[in-house]
Amino acid sequence: MLSNKTIEIVKSTAPVLADRGKEITTHFYKSLFKDYPELLNIFNHANQKQGRQQAALANTVYAAATYIDQLEVLLPAVKQIAHKHRSLNVKKEHYPIVGEYLLKAIKEVLGDAASPDIIEAWGEAYQVIAQVFIDVEQEMYDQAKEEAWDEFKPFRVVNKVKESSLITSFYLEPVDGSKVPNFIPGQYVTVRLSIPGEKYLFNRQYSLSDAPGKNTFRISVKRERDHVKEDGMVSNYLHDFINVNDEIELTAPAGDFVLENQKNQTVHLISGGVGITPMMSMLNYLADSQSDREITFIHAAKNGEVHAFAEETQKSIQSLPNAKECIIYETPNELDLKNQNFIAEGYLNEELLNKLIDKNGAFYICGPVAFMKNVIEYLEDLGVKTENIHYEFFGPSVSLKDY
Ligand code: HEM
């Protein structure tokens, strides 16, 4: 239990930390990786380089400090991060190391302003915050161990299928011959790879893109053309070098962007580009279970050439009694214009959404940040309640406002 004095110090110094949060976390990661380079086998190097992880950590530390006397308010956010930690195999032994380097960074950045009282109060507060994460994560590890496995496990690629000019699917089977475990549509797995010539392992999360209950997992990966080297590194390596019979390592499914069972609500699955992957899992699950819910599947892509799963989506939609599909192409190509396989040209906008949605329904959104930000704004303008809007962010879940 923290003393009133500690709580008071932490709360009153939290704004200072917020102001200089990114500086502190940047400093923190630099010295952490200098002394513990092996942690680079866990962290995403591209997120580090672009400051995304620093911002995510700084925001969370600030929020935790602000709510230090009522941490239960943060539980939904903690759970989301804990899913990510569990899927990356972050362990309770890592927490004291992170705590030590975080305190050191606070001391170094704030200098004389960080009195011994302040440092002591933050040290105590960190332990309380860390314990919340450790407890939530322990439960997740126990559950994963019971239902699937709790660390990394080798999988063999048994099929590799091109879904569009940019997206390719990998069908994966456990090497040890065990069954593929159940998961909730919308969840992701972490893929761990060793890339020749690179010193550290690479971890990336990919949504499972097919319904549960199959003999294999399916992930569907977009080739990145224009990104800085490390951002597309794993995806492009999978495209270029991972083939049938190759092995990659996976952690058990994780994540809380999942299809909920609000039976009487229309379900809207709204995606842009490769954001279609968790939507395929949700749609195919609804199709496999012959759901009689109203379902609206909205997908925005540049054109038919990069539009993945077009046939598969149609098949699932047609097999459902109350489902419709709405495809929007930014710049349809000649073939699209000939086939008229889309309902609108340009971007998904508020006027269009107004025509397509049931405002009392549930909304699942996944796609590029700008796409999600716009769609969420339009839905809120149209009167959709925030609690009915669910979205998945690919990358550290920094607040959408930070973009
Ligand atoms: C991701 C906070 C401890 C390793 C994250 C994210 C946040 C966060 C906000 C982004 C979540 C997302 O992507 O959705 C915290 C807090 C901690 C803590 C507040 C302490 C109380 C740790 C520890 C480790 C760790 C002890 C292990 C050494 C990671 C990794 C990621 C991550 C590897 C994924 C992002 C990346 O690879 O760039 N954490 N974390 N974290 N955390 Fe933590």
Give the closest residue to 115 by CA, choosing from 16, 23, 2: 16
> How would you classify the pairing of strands 167-174 and 217-222?
antiparallel
Q: Which two tokens stand for residue 389?
A: 């809007």
Mutate to test the pocket of ligand 1, among 22, 80, 85 (most ligand atoms within 8 A of CB): 85
Confidence of residue 392 (pLDDT cuts 50, 70, 90): confident
Q: What is the pLDDT of residues 143-181, one digit of tens each?
A: 999 999 999 999 999 999 999 999 999 999 999 999 999
For residue 212, report the distance from its CA to the centre of ligand 1, in Å.
Answer: 28
Q: What is the pLDDT of residues 14-32, one digit of tens each?
A: 888 888 888 898 899 999 9
Contacts of 86 (CB under 8 A, 6+ apart): 137, 140, 141, 144, 251, 254
Segment among 108-122, 180-194, 297-311, 365-379 with least mean pLDDT: 108-122
What is the rounded CA–CA span in Å between residue 134 and residue 139?
9
Q: Closest residue (by CA) to atom 8 of ligand 1?
A: 57
Q: Over 50: is that where the pLDDT of 295 sits?
A: yes
Active-site annotation, residues: 95, 137
> What mean pLDDT do residues 274-279 have?
97
Percent of the chain at pLDDT exceeding 90: 79
Confidence of residue 50 (pLDDT cuts 50, 70, 90): low
Asked if 26 and 1 count as a contact pair (C-beta separation under 8 A), the reply is: no
For residue 258, report the distance from its CA to the centre of ligand 1, in Å.
Answer: 21
pTM for this model (two decimals): 0.94
> What mean pLDDT do residues 262-279 have?
93
- pLDDT for position 60: 86
> How would you classify the pairing of strands 202-207 and 217-222?
unpaired
Q: What is the pLDDT of residues 303-353, one digit of tens each?
A: 999 999 999 999 999 999 999 999 999 999 999 999 999 999 999 999 999
- pLDDT for position 45: 77
What is the rounded CA–CA span in Å between residue 254 and residue 382?
32
- Each residue of 83-119: b (16+ CB within 10 Å) or e? bbbbbbbbeeebbeebbbbbbbbbbebbeeebeeebb
Contacts of 155 (CB under 8 A, 6+ apart): 172, 173, 174, 175, 217, 247, 248, 249, 250
What ligand 1 atom has the least distance to the C-alpha of 132? Answer: 21
Dihedral angle computed from the Cα positions of residues 159, 162, 166 and 169, in that order, rounded to the nearest 10 degrees = -30
Confidence of residue 394 (pLDDT cuts 50, 70, 90): low
For residue 85, report the distance from its CA to the centre of ligand 1, in Å.
Answer: 6
ipTM at complex level: 0.98
Q: Over 90: is that where the pLDDT of 62 sits?
A: no
Percent of the chain at pLDDT exceeding 70: 95
Please state, rounded to an integer, the average pLDDT across all residues of the chain.
92
Confidence of residue 44 (pLDDT cuts 50, 70, 90): confident
